[in-house]
Structure 1
Amino acid sequence: MLRKWAVFAIAVFSLFGLSVVPAAAAGGDFAPPGCFGERYGILFGQGISVSCFPGEGYGYRVIAHCSTGSAFWYVVGDPVPYGFGPAVAECSGALLVPARVVAYRVDEI
């Protein structure tokens, strides 16, 4: 009987852990304070465009967290000086497995 309770507890704990992960990943949908992010579609993928108000550094860049199926990778956008347009990063996939932006972050340079 003890084994059954142990297996049941592990199953409930695993189910709880799987339900928490998507909620934690949803936190990447918001831009940091002073920045405005917008997602857009590209052929077989998705991109992120971020504009920020002037900060303490020279400029900023966006880093997109991309996924397609079970593959995950990062795409680093080009550095952009403050006041000269948005920083852009694009996740490109393939015909049958399009990529998407799961989350993103902004690095000050």
Structure 2
Amino acid sequence: MRRKLAALAVAVFSLFGLTVGTAAAAGGDFAPPGCFGERYGVLFGQGVSVSCFPGEGYGYRVIAHCTNGSAFWYVVGDFVPYGFGPATAECTGALLVPARVFGYQVDEI
């Protein structure tokens, strides 16, 4: 009986650890060092704006991870050369299901 309870306790703790670990990793903001992001509101949604200091390559773009309940998708922002303003990506939804930025990442090109 004690073995069964111990196995159940280990299973519950491991399940809790897996759900907390994946939720923390999935909703993160992945910007390289030297980049600063800011979220802002748009009509029925949310956007993200990222500015980066000059680095390797020619420029950068931001990729927003969007959600509105059970739907998930990506919005890729335009390419921005270093020194020419922020890169932006906006998640837009509808009146009853507004979208939000779940996380974002920056790709250097």
Task: Look up the SS of the partner of 1:18 in the other structure.
Answer: helix
Which consecutive unaligned segments of at least 5 residues does structure 2 have? Answer: none
Structure 2 residue 66 is matched with structure 1 residue 66: yes
TM-score, structure 1 as length reference: 0.84
Q: In 2, distance between residues paired with 1:70 and 1:80?
A: 31
Task: Look up the SS of the partner of 2:90 in the other structure.
Answer: strand
- The Cα shift of 1:19 comes to 2.2
- The Cα shift of 1:86 comes to 0.5
Q: What percentage of residue pairs aligned between the two structures are identical?
A: 70
- Which residue does the alignment assign to 2:23? 22
Partner amino acid for 2:84? F
Q: CA RMSD in A?
A: 1.9
- Which residue does the alignment assign to 2:96? 96
1:28-66 deviation line (CA, Å, top 9, x unaligned)? 2x6321111100011111100001111221111101111
1:57-103 deviation line (CA, Å, top 9, x unaligned)? 11111011111111111100000111111000001111111111111
